[in-house]
Amino acid sequence: DKFNPYLLYFKAAGFAFVLFTIFSLASSIMDNSKFVLATNLTDYMFKKIGDYDDGVTVDMSDVVSHSDSALNVMLIIVSVIMGCSLISILFFTVSTLMASKRIHEYCLTSVFKNSSSVIKIKKQINQIITYFSSDMLFIDQYIGDMIFTTFLAFIQTAISIGTLFYTIPLSVPFIAVSLVIAFEFVVLKIVKSFKTIQLGSLETMSHVNKTCEDAILGAAIHRSFKKEWELVNDLIERTDYKMRCWFLATSLGSWTSVLFNWLFSLTTALFLTGLIIFDKFTDFKMNVGYFGLGLSLGSSVIKSFNNCSFCFARLQVFICSLRRFQCFIPPGTKCVFDKFRNVHEEDLVISSSKPEDQVNTANLLRRRAIEFKDTNPNFLKRMAYKPKFNFMYVSKYLPSEHTGLVLKDLCVYTNSLMNKEGLILNNINATPGKSDIIGIIGRTGAGKTTLLSVLENNVRNRTGQVLLDGRDLQEIPKSVVRHIVGVLPQLPFVFKGWTVRRFLDPRRLFTDEKINEALENCGLLDFVNSLPGGRRLDTVIVPKPLNMAKNFFEQSPKESFNKGKEPYPEERAMTMDDLRSAGTMLSVSQLRTLWFGKLVLCRHQYRMLIIDEPPSDNISEDELEAQDMGVPIYELLDKYFKHCTCFVTAHFSKVLKSCTSVWVMHQGRLIRTCSVSDVSKNDSISNIIEEMVTKYSN
C-alpha cells in the first residue's frame, strides 16, 4: 500500500506544521533543561552546606550571587518555554485548519468533477454521506488534536528516557525491557483492535445512512403498503451494531489502562529496589539531587509512555478516515491540493473594446468595500479581505463581431473508449448563423439535452468541432465561455438568503437603474414591485433555515428571516405549515421568467443563447403563457438577441413559430433541418416529430 495518510495530512497542513515541529522541540528541550538547572543549584547548596559543616568559611555573597544568576536563567528559560509553546500552538492551529480545508475541498471537487466510473465511491450515496458526516468530522476535530498530543507525548517520553538513561544508567535494563514488552504485546495489539473497531463503526454508520437513503429515495408504493416499520427495524438493528462498536472500544480502553498500571507498577518497584541495593552494597554513592531526579524522571517516563501509547492508538483509529480518503483520488493520479482561493477574487470578462463596455476598477472596488462593510465582518474576515479583479478580454480569443456557429462531424460518446456502441450524438453537421433562432425537437432520448450541453462546453468524450466565430469552444477558457453563452435552464438555482437583486445580478456589476430598466424591457418591473412585503429588489426569494432551538441551525431571532417567530421548542414537532412558511417566495416558472430578465440585463456580452424549455409532461400548452407571467419570451428573443445565435428545445408548437429554422433530432442524429413554414401547418408537436421521423429517419 503506497498510500501514506500521514504524509497526505502533512502535505495538506503545509509549512506551518514544520514551524510547529521546530518550536515544539525547542519548548520541550527547554522544559527539561530547567530540571537539570534546578538539580545543579541543589547540589551547589548541599556542597556549601557540607563545607560549612566542615568548618570551611562560606562566602554568602557568592551563594546569593549564584542563586540570583540561577534565578535569572530560570526566568529566561520559562519565558522562552511560554513563548515557544504559544507560537507552536498558533502554528499548529493554522496547519490543522489548512489541512482540514484542503482535504474537504478536494473531496467535494472530486465528487463533482469525476464520474462514478472514475471514483467508485460515487456509486454509493450512503458512503459519501458517511464520509462527509462522520469521517470528515474525525479529520476536522480529532486528527489534528491527536497528532498534537501524540507528538508532544512522544517528545516528552524520548527526552525523559534520554535524561534518565544519562543520569542513572542502572535504569536502562528495567525501563527498556518494560517498554519493549508494553509496546510489542500491548500497544500494537490495541492499535490493531481499535482500527478494526473503528472501521466496523464506520461501516455500521454507512448502513444507517443506507436506511435513510432508502427512506428518502424509496418509491411511493413502499409507503402505500405500510412498510415503514421495515425501515425502522433496519435502523434500530444497524444502530445497535454501532453501539456495540462503541462498547467494545470503551471496554478495550479500560482493559489497556488496567494492564499498563500493573505492568509499570511492577517496573517501578523493581527499579526502586535496584537503586536502593546499588547504593547500599557498592562503593558508588549517589548524590541526593540526582537520586531524586532519577525517581522523578522514572515516574515521568512511565506516565508519558502511557499517555503516548493511548494517544498513538487513538491517532491510528482516526487515521482510518484519512485512509478512506483515497477513495476520492482517481486511480493512477497523485493527490495534488489546489491553492486556497481568494473568495474576494473575481473574474470579469470584457466583451468588447467599446468605452461603454469597460469597467471602472476604482468604482467597483469602492462598491465592494461598501458591500463588505454591510456584512458586519469580524476582525479575522477584515484581515482576509483582499479584493482582486482578473480582467479577461473576449477579443483575445474571438473576433470582435459574432458571425455564427459551425458544428462539424460532432460526436459524443458515453465513455472514453469512444466505441460505436456508446454513441450519444452521431456525426452532426450544421452552420447556424448570427440572429438565427433554432428550434430543436425530437423524442425523449433523441439527444437534445446532450446537444445543448455540447454548446455549453460541458460534455466529455467529444470528437469533431464546435466552432464559435472560428474558434473551438474547448480552446476558450471556461470562465469566458460562461460569459458569452447565456442559458435559461429548466430549473433555475437560487441560494438561500438571496434577494431578487442578487438573483438578477449575482456578480454585482449593475446599478439598480440598469436592473429596473432590464425588468421594464421584459415587462417584469410591475411584478417585482408588487411582491409581498413591498421590498422590491430587496425581496428575499428563499429564506434561510428555520430558527431551531438547541439544534444545528441554532440562531438568534434577529438572524432568522422568519422574524416574529419564537424558536421551536423541543417538545413540539414541526408541522407542514411551519415548513411551507419557510418555502420559496417564487414558483419555478416565476424564477425562470426572472432568469430571462437576467439574460436581458447581460445581453450585450452574449454571443449564443440556450433556452431549455421544461418537458411537455410537466405543463400543458395552455399553461405555458400563464407560467411565463404574460412575458413573451420568444418574441423578446428576436428583439434583444439579434446579435446572438439562439437555440430552443421546443415542446410546444407555439414556440416553433418564433424560430427561424427547426432541427429534428432522432437517435442522436440531426435528421432534418427545415424552415418554420414546413412545420407550422401542424399544431401538435408530437405529430410534427412523428411526421419528420417517419419521413427522414431512413
With CA atoms as reference, report the closest residue to 511 among 347, 637, 360, 386: 360
402-494+586-618+625-697 carries CATH number 3.40.50.150:
no
**Contact between 670 and 448 (Cβ < 8 Å):** no
Domain boundaries defined on the chain: 1-113, 122-329, 350-391, 402-494+586-618+625-697
Lookup: cell for 60: 554568602
The pairs formed by 624-633 with CB atoms below 8 angstroms and a separation of 24 or more are: 624/652, 624/654, 627/589, 627/592, 627/593, 628/589, 628/592, 628/593, 629/524, 629/527, 629/589, 629/590, 629/593, 630/523, 631/522, 631/523, 631/524, 631/593, 631/596, 632/523, 633/593, 633/596
HSE-up of residue 395 (Cα within 13 Å, Cβ side): 10
**Residue-wise pLDDT tens digits, 278-310:** 777 776 665 556 566 666 777 777 777 878 888
If DSSP codes are grouped into helix, strand and coil, which group holds residue 390? strand
Predicted pLDDT of residue 455: 92
Q: Report the sign of the C-alpha dihedral through residues 405, 410, 416, 422, in that order.
A: positive
- CA gap 506, 616 in Å, rounded: 30
Q: What is the DSSP letter of 437?
A: E
**Residue-wise pLDDT tens digits, 529-574:** 888 888 888 888 887 664 444 443 344 434 433 444 444 443 444 3
Any residues with CB less than 8 A from the CB of 316 and at least 6 apart, and which? Answer: 191, 194, 195
**Contact between 535 and 579 (Cβ < 8 Å):** no
Report residues of the chain scoring pLDDT below 70. Answer: 1, 170-171, 218-227, 264, 268, 271-272, 275, 283-295, 352-357, 544-584, 614-631, 680-683, 697-698
What HEC string does 33-90 produce?
HHHHHHHHHHHHHHHHHHHHHCCCCCCHHHHHHHHHHHHHHHHHHHHHHHHHHHHHHH
Predicted pLDDT of residue 407: 93
* Measured CA distances, 308 to 120, 154, 257, 372, 644 (Å): 37, 6, 12, 46, 68
Predicted pLDDT of residue 617: 45
- CA gap 354, 334 in Å, rounded: 45
Triad 177, 180, 186: Cα angle to 5°: 125
Predicted pLDDT of residue 607: 92
- CA gap 163, 203 in Å, rounded: 45
Angle between helices 288-323 and 228-281 (to 10 degrees): 160
Predicted pLDDT of residue 236: 85
Any residues with CB less than 8 A from the CB of 253 and at least 6 apart, and which? Answer: 310
Predicted pLDDT of residue 644: 92
Lookup: cell for 512: 439598480
Q: Report the sign of the C-alpha dihedral through residues 616, 618, 620, 625, in that order.
A: negative
Any residues with CB less than 8 A from the CB of 37 and at least 6 apart, and which? Answer: 70, 73, 74, 77
- CA gap 344, 363 in Å, rounded: 16
Predicted pLDDT of residue 639: 87
122-329 carries CATH number 1.20.1560.10:
yes
Q: Report the sign of the C-alpha dihedral through residues 256, 261, 267, 270, in that order.
A: negative
- CA gap 493, 592 in Å, rounded: 10
The residue written with cell numbers 418574441 in the block is 635
Lookup: cell for 242: 454501532
Full-model pTM: 0.63
